[in-house]
Chain A
Amino acid sequence: MTETTTRSLDDPDIWVDTPATIYDAVPPYPPRTEREAEFYHLRDGEMLLNLGPQHPSTHGVLRVVLKIDGEQVVDLDPVLGYLHRGVEKICENGDWHHAINQCDPLEYVASMFSEAMPVLAAEKLLDLQVPRRAEYIRVLCWELNRIASHALFMGWLALDLGGLTPILYGFIERDEIVEMLAAVTGQRVLFNYLRIGGVNGDINHDFMSRLADWMGRAGKQIETTTRLLNENEIFVRRTKGLGVLDRETALRTLCTGPVLRATGVPYDVRRAHPYSVYPELEFDVPTRTEGDSYARYLLHVDEVRESIRIIDQILHELPDGPVMAKIPRLIRIPPARAFVAVESPRGQYGCYAMSDGTDQPFRLRLRDPSFFNLQAVGLLMPGNLIADTMAIMASLDPVMGGIDK
């Protein structure tokens, strides 16, 4: 005979005695800095609310402690480090080629940019001339990846405001591009395609036919997707005038990319400090002056159009030739220092590399744009309602893989 027991929620024994968790908003130690003391001191009527780390609106494992007064956010304290895996240390302990696939998952939405960092840095340290065909293929892949990332951004922004439809369209767009890149790189997300001195393989027929197919309707598809949002009254009223960042503040907060350009600063690394074959290509740097969430959204749409323009030019001008420079398998880079930067979908992705004459990087510092852009939430959120914090955070488009490194 088996004995059955009924357990009710009133029974104290069914609750496991858990230690203090990450869900406790107040840290279990005295404040370490002036700022922390100020934040965790509550005035009358204020309370702390823990958001994240596993929350769909924080775009990854970001935890934000909100100090709220009623429905209004008074202050906030972002807590990073949940995805930290010490990429810079790992890169120092592998050789230059290993760094490429270690940097791949940093910006997992547009990994073609983060994997470019050790590649471009090593090329600059070696003074290496990359074949022109490889440069064009790189730019082609970068721009495709930018569109894929921007398509997802529009969907995410709408999703955080409660609209489910645009993200489905965004994923359709992204999936087509990702399949296209998978045809040439063999991977859907972490491409590992760029190599020191070129790219891993030449583009193939599968890729070209998919690309030609997609280019035929790309412009139209963008219009369809954006028509859902551009004049959607709910969307516009929840983003217009919210999270306004002015020019000076954006520069001082080290924002880059669409966040900075939405405030009227035409800082785009592709033009400000040209790299690869961008000087030969014709495109504009769209800017807006409003600096709010809606301006950031519209800027992303404009950038997609510019990217399509660039891809169109590349398809017409793609030169023939090899896709890899002739370099030895084992690269020993003479002692030197180099800084490279690219314009990723989120802003300036930078890399400061030092070599000491061995086959391993001595120091590989990665500068992630969303790390700096995310700092702006501390300026933008106070004074807004909790529900609007989502619209603001989504419009900054953080990717936690790169922020936590």
Chain B
Amino acid sequence: MDSRLRRRLERAFADRLQGPVNQRQDTTEIRIGAEGVTDVMRALHDDSEFKFEVLADLAGVDTGTEMWVVYHLWSAQSPDWLRVIVGGLSRDDPRVPSVTFLWNGAEWAEREAYDMFGIIFEGNRDLRRIYMPPDYTSFPLRKDFLLPDDAARSPGEGFRHMEQTHQPAEFLRQPVVRRGKDSLAPNRGPRQ
């Protein structure tokens, strides 16, 4: 645990932090809101006291009640991983600023989070589905997307259809292109 990092984070982002700086094992964890992402990430990346140059991971999380985007950062100046949790995103229309202005490699990771959770990264110029086909409407890693064999968890029904259609924001609704009976062939690739 890196207590110097904790003090620095508390000093630099006093007005941005939601809750205390958590430290467990080799990870320091802070929690911010979506409005602070741009400032905090820029400061963590650029400031000489932080210099978190490596974005180790970018993950979307659905807690069942809200959406998170979780960043893991690495800096040569600290022995800890820094976990930045952007919490409190609404499940109906989760929006968070993109970090592609700092790490352009985050583009695909954000596309993945969009594909799997429907989180919209504002500022990502290529936010389309990356794994699933373009006419797909569900977000598979959401907690209310149940697999057919997951009967034990489904409330009451015992069996629910695999694809639950979510209602994404209006501008993301794409024209659906159907190609007759072949469009539901199981072995098609992501774009046809």
B-contacting residues of A (Cβ < 8 Å)?
A: 19-22, 24, 27-30, 32-36, 53, 63, 79-82, 84, 86, 88-89, 92-93, 124, 127, 251-256, 267, 272-273, 336-339, 341, 348, 350, 352, 354, 363, 365, 367, 371-372, 375, 404-405
Contacts and interface: CB of A to CB of B under 8 A. Distances in A.
B83 A337 contact: yes
Interface string B76-104: 10010101000000000000000000111
A339 B72 contact: yes
Contacts of A28: 177, 179, 192
Interface of B: 24-27, 29, 53-57, 59-62, 70, 72, 74, 76, 79, 81, 83, 102-109, 116, 125-135, 140-141, 145, 147, 149-150, 174-175, 177, 179-180, 182-183, 188-192
Contact of A20 (B76, B128, B179): B179
A50 B118 CA distance: 29
A354 B29 CA distance: 14
Contacts of A352: 57, 59, 70, 72
A88 B132 contact: no
Contacts of B127: 33
B72 A363 contact: no
A254 B106 contact: yes
Contacts of B55: 254
B182 A19 contact: yes
A24 B132 contact: no
A135 to B, nearest CB: 16
A32 B141 contact: no
A20 B191 CA distance: 11
A29 B105 contact: no
A21 B104 CA distance: 31
Given A22-B191, A34-B125, A267 B54 contact: yes
Given A79-B189, A124-B25, A354-B61, A253 B128 contact: no
A63 B189 CA distance: 10
